[in-house]
Structure 1
Amino acid sequence: MAEAHQAVAFQFTITPEGIDLQLSYQALNQIYHSGVRSWKRRVSRMRNRVIKGVYPASPSSWLFVVIAILATLYMRSDPSMGLIDKIQQHLPLSLHVSLSSQGQTMLSALVFSTLLWLSLILALRFCLKLLLSYHQWMFEMHGPVSNTTKVWVTLLRLLSSRKPLLYSYQTSLPHLPVPTIKDTLSRYLQSVRPLLSDPAYKRMTELANGFESNLGNRLQRYLKLKALWATNYVSDWWEEYIYLRSRGPIMVNSNYYGMDFLFVTPTSVQAARAGNTITALLLYRRKVNREELKPSRVPGTVIPLCAAQYERMFNTTRTPGLETDVLQHWQDSEYVAVYHKGRFFRLWVYNAGRLLSPREIEHQIQRILDDPSPPLPGEERLGALTAGDRVPWHQMRKQYFSSGINKRSLDIIERAAFFVTLDDEEQGMKGDDPAGNLDRYAKSLLHGKCYDRWFDKSFSIVIYKNGKNGLNAEHSWADAPTIAHLWEFTLATDAFQLGYTDDEHCKGDVDRMLPHPRNRESWNNPHNVQAQICTSLTVAQSLADDVDCHVFPFREFGKGRVKKLRVSPDAFIQISLQLAYYRDRGGFCLTYEASMTRLFREGRTETVRSCSNETCAFVKALEGGESAEQCRRLLRLASEGHQNLYRMAMTGAGIDRHLFCLYVVSKYLGVDSPFLKEVLSEPWRLSTSQTPIQQIELFDIKNHPDYISLGGGFGPVADDGYGVSYIIVGEDMINFHVSSKYSCKETDSHRFGAEIHKALQDIMALMSAEPKSAAPSRGPSQPKKQL
């Protein structure tokens, strides 16, 4: 709001009598409060830097050390073993003149105390880093815990006893280790064995052996050098080469979506839902800025996860380039960008330095909804530029949006805290066709009309006409668990904390003096821009029309019954997906399951190749009519194998990120590797991801069973493959999101969804028939211990 008033805060007129100076006190008041808010944030950041800089100690511990040293000196004892006297001897001559002997001793003691305190902090942080580098606990969580792990848990709890800030653990997290070439190649060959014939496997083995004995070791040396120098040897290259260098559309291909509650819409008033949703998101941003969020941890443990991805959550935009895009992040933004019926608005969310109440934001949103003005030429479908190919968007931006009114208007969208679309459609499960409505709901969030979302923003919120909401997130800056954490907080805060009045409006009062949301900054879109908008829209529309989305809640059972079988719920689902794919396509395929590597600093993801020898053996046995006892034995082996693969990926012993980085090094060196080229070109025909609920304490599923999240999904990775996302909700429900392409005659999302449904039932029927005495009393599928 300060920017809007700054231009009119000072007005002067030159008259024959002199200069007539006019001051707008209201505008100056707005500028003053905006400045105060900015300085408060700076002070808060400085304070947090100190607190997290000395973690796991506290700033007040300095005073304790000083008092202890002075007390020992008072008792005629020298704890410094002569260092205080040496410090006193080396004090500047001016201090020797100005201070008494006792004053010099006190000052020297203070210097020594401070140095001792800093040394203790460094020692504590080094110990914490060593403790966080121990990962054997993960392989013991479902079995007997060793004495080493018990001691490790005790020490870790002691060092983590102080309440940490969001980023307190960052500098104590270990660096991602570089696996050995031999181990990675061995695990790779094992992962592709069930997918290759004997001659093809022999050929691949020869390629791998040739790579290991020749080029591999040379590339590995460069990679180890980078690992010594960089915080994380994977993340920067992964962000650049997998995401930012992609020149195709990011809509569908990269961006993903998150859905509202399945059974409940807290209000049917669009402006009210927008008011609470925007407020909840801004409250979350405040917590991130103040570092008040609790650090994410491995579920059921005290082990922290890297929080680096939170830094670029708000006020962030991906801007197009010729060869690579760039992520731009701004420290703060006092407004959000709003799109409605082809018009772009700037909605200020602060007034006199305070966050507007939900009711005030609802009032401002209603003003936008009631605004009858038509879009400017080329404005309505401008967002299509972000949905099409990246190079044309870069060229248009460089030529027509780098100066003048277009640049100012584009800056408003890109610098906004986030993007909001007030959609003129109704979405959700309710209606005559609930299953079809869920599918249409998913497609709407994934791509909309291809021009009514701003796909470059870190995330865009969609508020539908009937009060349903959802989000679309850009992928390069962070992975799904980070945005899911934000969305969980938003849904819970909206429904359970902010709430609505009896007439479904936001709570609170409205300051009637609020200025009107600033309507559309002027656009000047000549014929060339409008022509490119049409071209980009055609590309995006073709891509959107080809996506086949199917969303279905599986209610037959959930993780409750699976855990009673002493099988990992995630392994159970992944094995079911393999069975479903085998039945759908008559064979197996390279399967991608996303696993996090946030146990390490700046960690992102690793691939779990869940189509394993053990899983394929189980599927073949079940489909081949083997005995139930044999099938159950193979299922448990497959579950144990899958869990081990997941743990290996989480602890830095994965396959694909290592091979990816070796490939990048080879490109920098200008050398070709037939082995790496073939590995990196293999298609992931089944790409899967679980979206776990991370803040279960925010949702009271027992007392409010209807407030169940639908989770989110993504588009297919391969043209002839499936994308499957799932969320395990409570004890009795699993929600699935399946995607594929209509253009591929061999895939069908609804058919595959039916196969998943049947596979889950068949495996449950198999395991439920197992005699209780035959079930292992302890095994890899046992529920996690609290570490």
Structure 2
Amino acid sequence: MTIAKTFLSSTSVRTLPSTIIKKYSPIIQNSKSYKLICPILSRNYSSQIETDKPKTFSNQHIIPRLPIPTLQETAERYKRSLLPIFKPEDYARAANAVDEFVKADGLGEILQKRLHESDKVEKYSWLENIWLNKAYLEWREPSLINVNWWCEFRDHPNGILKQVQKGQITDFQIYRTAGLISNLLSFNDEVNNELLPPEYTRQGPLCMNQYKKQFSTTRIADSPADRSISYWPATAKHIIVLFRDQIFKVQVLGEGGARVTIKDIERQLKSIVEQTSNTNELQLPIGLLTAEHRDTWATARKALESQSSENRSNFEAIDTALFSVSLDDYSTDSNIDISHHNLFHAFNGRNRWFDKSLQLIVQSNGRAGVNGEHSPADAVIPGNIFDYIVSKEPAQDPSNSSSIPLQAPQHLKWAPYSSLETVIKKAQSNIQAATDNVDSVLLHYNEYGSNWLKSVKVSPDAFVQMALQLTYYRQHGEQCPTYESASTRGFLHGRTETVRSCSIDSVAFTKAFDDKDFKKEQKLDLLTKAIKTHIEYMISATNGKGVDRHLLGLRCQIQNEEEKSRALIFTDPSYIQSMYFKLSSSNLSPGDYFYGGFGAVVPEGYGINYSIGKEGIKFSICSFKKYNETDSKTLRKTLKNALDDLRNLI
């Protein structure tokens, strides 16, 4: 990476050997300076670069490893993040704990040294396994709502059906489902064959590893921690399809991955409907267990596996399937405020398998989307997949497809153990209580979007974050710890880092905004300063210089109770309180083909996803009904007013 940038900054590139040019052509070609400082390269080698298109994972060897910040860097950023949310006396105590931790020859230096040693033995990143285990696989609460995310697709170009009777499966539903399945298979082909172009930012290439963890990827309930399995290349020839809680193994590819026509896939889906309608052997709704407490599900899964070889074979079919598809024999209200709940939790958790990385869901009226398990990848990766498959609707047969015989869908039949029905009944009760508690609404704000924000020279993402800060302050009269996800894919196997959006400057802005003693120019200056601070936080996080992941890595190096008692930085109440994110947010822009959401991460908090389009901004707002402190509908109204007021200010 450094060498490649040196090439680009020097006229010596004109005399580089062709082998070097070929090796670094992805970076050279994507540099803004390419034709300006490399005119001879552009003239003599452009045809070579065009014909040697880089493979999907061709940049992996030049992507740098995730850095480990110094103790002093993290200590200063951490203390700075505590200032806006703690009283002076609480801050003073927390700051003393931090200073004690990072002092020379202190515990911090010991843990830092261990973290560097662990980085030497980890193949890709010191953080990768720590994050996967601590953030996901060791988490025992149900994945439904607490971990999984949802996305709703833009409606099909032909629209959706109106007034479909409950209990029906429609031809249009089958048609759209088959097309989306075919498009997903095409994307998998591109990943398998490394035809997907490697991605870049202005800073350089991005890690593409998460694309290997989207197909044939499953979270497996286990104890004391779950497991995750993934295959790349993902060469399975089948998917699983759920219809009326029945699970089918469905072949969708021929031998060697040969592509079939969309009509062939339609026939497979129709066969499932016929088999389910004509059988008297309906199976128990095993899929409900994937929405249960992870320990409960792990125990039930092990009991099922020990019950019979047929059960073990069923699990193998589900775990290795390329992805899951749920055909719903009902349609929700055309109001998107209601319809997205079907993707979020199906109102009762039925007809789903929440452990699959990708779970395509299509209602009888043709409205479609996905529910995804979060542990394998972050939002951008599945988002790029959805852009691909939805933008290609109406789906067309692949050029290499042909109509070939496929094995009939296999209805997975389960050998139950004695208490299975009781466990499922309890799961249904728990899931119903959880879904009834969800307060999730949407705001599609169409007054302005990124075009206008850029025209007034404002960072769209930082602007939305300040709008959220103002909204929360207006509704609750206080600031709160706020999480925004920042991607660290500029590093090998990078995932995310936390941007702590609540800053000293955001607090100053929100307090002044409705204060009549402040002039408009003063408010605008405070907003500008808050936005600048947020951008600095985002840049630091993206460059691997955030606070939360480093502190997590250090905490995981503690080896005994004596060290634990000395680690005042972690035992001080400020550590947990500063991570108690009552506002948890994520940017999934631009939202042209889909928008999505997720649950709040604390009981009295909000989960807010947003997509900033050119002419509008789509928000999803989730909280929990049991807590009187939160109200998603009221927050939506407050947010709309804040967006209007900020436009007027600017």
TM-score bracket, shorter-length normalisation:
0.7 to 0.9
Aligned to 1:660: 552
Percentage of identical aligned residues? 30
Unaligned 5+ runs, structure 2: 6-16, 162-171
Question: What pairs with 1:722-741 in structure 2 (closer than 5 Å)?
Answer: 722-729=606-613, 731-741=614-624
Would you say 1:218 and 2:110 are equivalent positions? yes
C-alpha change, 1:352 and 1:651, in structure 2 (3 Å) is closer
Question: In 1, distance between residues paired with 2:562 and 2:218?
Answer: 32
Would you say 1:485 and 2:384 are equivalent positions? yes
Aligned to 1:692: 589
Question: CA deviation digits over 1:657-716, x for unaligned, max 9?
Answer: 10111111125786212312445522110000000249xxxxxxxxxxxxx434110011
Question: In 2, distance between residues paired with 1:263 and 1:582?
Answer: 39
| Preserved CA contact (<8 Å) 1:341 1:380 | no
C-alpha change, 1:175 and 1:557, in structure 2 (3 Å) is same
Aligned to 1:359: 263
How far the C-alpha of 1:155 sits from its partner, in A, is 10
What is the DSSP-based 3-state SS (H/G/I as helix, E as strand, rest coil) of the residue aligned with 1:252? helix
| Paired residue total | 604
| Preserved CA contact (<8 Å) 2:260 2:401 | no
| Preserved CA contact (<8 Å) 1:716 1:739 | yes
| TM-score after normalising by structure 2 | 0.87
C-alpha change, 1:690 and 1:322, in structure 2 (3 Å) is same
Question: CA deviation digits over 1:741-766, x for unaligned, max 9?
Answer: 00110101111111111111101100
Aligned to 1:427: 332
Question: What pairs with 1:103-502 in structure 2 (closer than 5 Å)?
Answer: 162-213=52-103, 214-230=106-122, 231-261=124-154, 266=159, 268=161, 269-298=172-201, 301=202, 303-330=204-231, 331-351=234-254, 353=256, 354-371=258-275, 372-374=277-279, 376=281, 379-402=283-306, 403-427=308-332, 430=334, 437-448=335-346, 449-495=348-394, 498=396
2:568 to 666, 674, 677: 674
Question: CA deviation digits over 1:514-554, x for unaligned, max 9?
Answer: 55322x12211133112111222222222211111101210
Aligned to 1:521: 412
| Preserved CA contact (<8 Å) 1:549 1:739 | yes
Question: CA deviation digits over 1:209-234, x for unaligned, max 9?
Answer: 11112211111111122223322111
C-alpha change, 1:507 and 1:270, in structure 2 (3 Å) is farther
Question: In 1, distance between residues paired with 2:157 and 2:284?
Answer: 32
| TM-score after normalising by structure 1 | 0.72
Please, what is the CA RMSD of the aligned residues? 3.2
What is the DSSP-based 3-state SS (H/G/I as helix, E as strand, rest coil) of the residue aligned with 2:586? strand
Partner amino acid for 2:240? A
C-alpha change, 1:267 and 1:757, in structure 2 (3 Å) is closer
C-alpha change, 1:513 and 1:202, in structure 2 (3 Å) is closer
How far the C-alpha of 1:509 sits from its partner, in A, is 10
Question: In 2, distance between residues paired with 1:668 and 1:750?
Answer: 47
Partner amino acid for 1:344? I
Question: CA deviation digits over 1:162-182, x for unaligned, max 9?
Answer: 521110111110011111111
C-alpha change, 1:452 and 1:165, in structure 2 (3 Å) is same
Partner amino acid for 1:482? I
Question: In 1, distance between residues paired with 2:617 and 2:268?
Answer: 38
| Greater C-alpha Rg | 1
| Preserved CA contact (<8 Å) 2:484 2:584 | yes
Q: Which contiguous aligned blocks of 4+ residues in structure 1 show a shift greater than 3 angstroms?
A: 150-162, 262-268, 373-377, 506-516, 667-670, 677-680
| Preserved CA contact (<8 Å) 1:359 1:509 | no
What is the DSSP-based 3-state SS (H/G/I as helix, E as strand, rest coil) of the residue aligned with 1:383? helix
Partner amino acid for 1:208? V
Question: In 1, distance between residues paired with 2:559 and 2:634?
Answer: 41
Question: In 2, distance between residues paired with 1:218 and 1:587?
Answer: 38
Moved more, 220-229 or 483-492: 220-229
Question: What pairs with 1:24-173 in structure 2 (closer than 5 Å)?
Answer: 162-173=52-63
C-alpha change, 1:735 and 1:667, in structure 2 (3 Å) is farther
C-alpha change, 1:662 and 1:329, in structure 2 (3 Å) is same
Question: In 1, distance between residues paired with 2:530 and 2:280?
Answer: 58
Partner amino acid for 1:422? L
| Preserved CA contact (<8 Å) 1:297 1:303 | yes
| Preserved CA contact (<8 Å) 1:461 1:472 | yes
How far the C-alpha of 1:380 sits from its partner, in A, is 4.0
| Preserved CA contact (<8 Å) 2:84 2:507 | yes
Partner amino acid for 2:229? Q
How far the C-alpha of 1:381 sits from its partner, in A, is 1.8
Question: In 1, distance between residues paired with 2:40 and 2:353?
Answer: 48
C-alpha change, 1:713 and 1:667, in structure 2 (3 Å) is farther
Question: In 2, distance between residues paired with 1:405 and 1:154?
Answer: 65
| Preserved CA contact (<8 Å) 1:358 1:508 | no
1:547 to 433, 438, 445: 438
What is the DSSP-based 3-state SS (H/G/I as helix, E as strand, rest coil) of the residue aligned with 1:350? coil
| Preserved CA contact (<8 Å) 2:259 2:400 | no
Aligned to 1:40: none
Partner amino acid for 2:91? Y
Aligned to 2:593: 709
Question: In 1, distance between residues paired with 2:444 and 2:67?
Answer: 39
Q: Relative contact order (alpha carbons < 8 A, sep ≥ 6): 1 or 2 greater?
A: 2
Aligned to 2:631: 748
Unaligned 5+ runs, structure 1: 1-54, 57-116, 138-144, 431-436, 500-505, 695-707, 768-787
Question: CA deviation digits over 1:232-266, x for unaligned, max 9?
Answer: 11121000111001111011100001111169565
Question: CA deviation digits over 1:427-466, x for unaligned, max 9?
Answer: 36x3xxxxxx322222211111313111111111101100
Partner amino acid for 2:117? L
Question: CA deviation digits over 1:621-641, x for unaligned, max 9?
Answer: 112221000011111111111
| Preserved CA contact (<8 Å) 1:562 1:569 | yes
What is the DSSP-based 3-state SS (H/G/I as helix, E as strand, rest coil) of the residue aligned with 2:204? coil
Question: In 1, distance between residues paired with 2:474 and 2:342?
Answer: 30
How far the C-alpha of 1:507 sits from its partner, in A, is 12
Question: In 2, distance between residues paired with 1:723 and 1:223?
Answer: 32
Question: In 2, distance between residues paired with 1:760 and 1:311?
Answer: 39
Aligned to 1:630: 522
Aligned to 1:64: none
Partner amino acid for 1:307? M
| Preserved CA contact (<8 Å) 1:357 1:508 | no
Question: In 1, distance between residues paired with 2:612 and 2:343?
Answer: 21
| Preserved CA contact (<8 Å) 2:259 2:402 | no
Question: In 1, distance between residues paired with 2:41 and 2:515?
Answer: 51
How far the C-alpha of 1:352 sits from its partner, in A, is 5.1
How far the C-alpha of 1:611 sits from its partner, in A, is 0.8
Question: In 2, distance between residues paired with 1:154 and 1:326?
Answer: 52
| Preserved CA contact (<8 Å) 1:128 1:172 | no
| Preserved CA contact (<8 Å) 1:710 1:735 | no
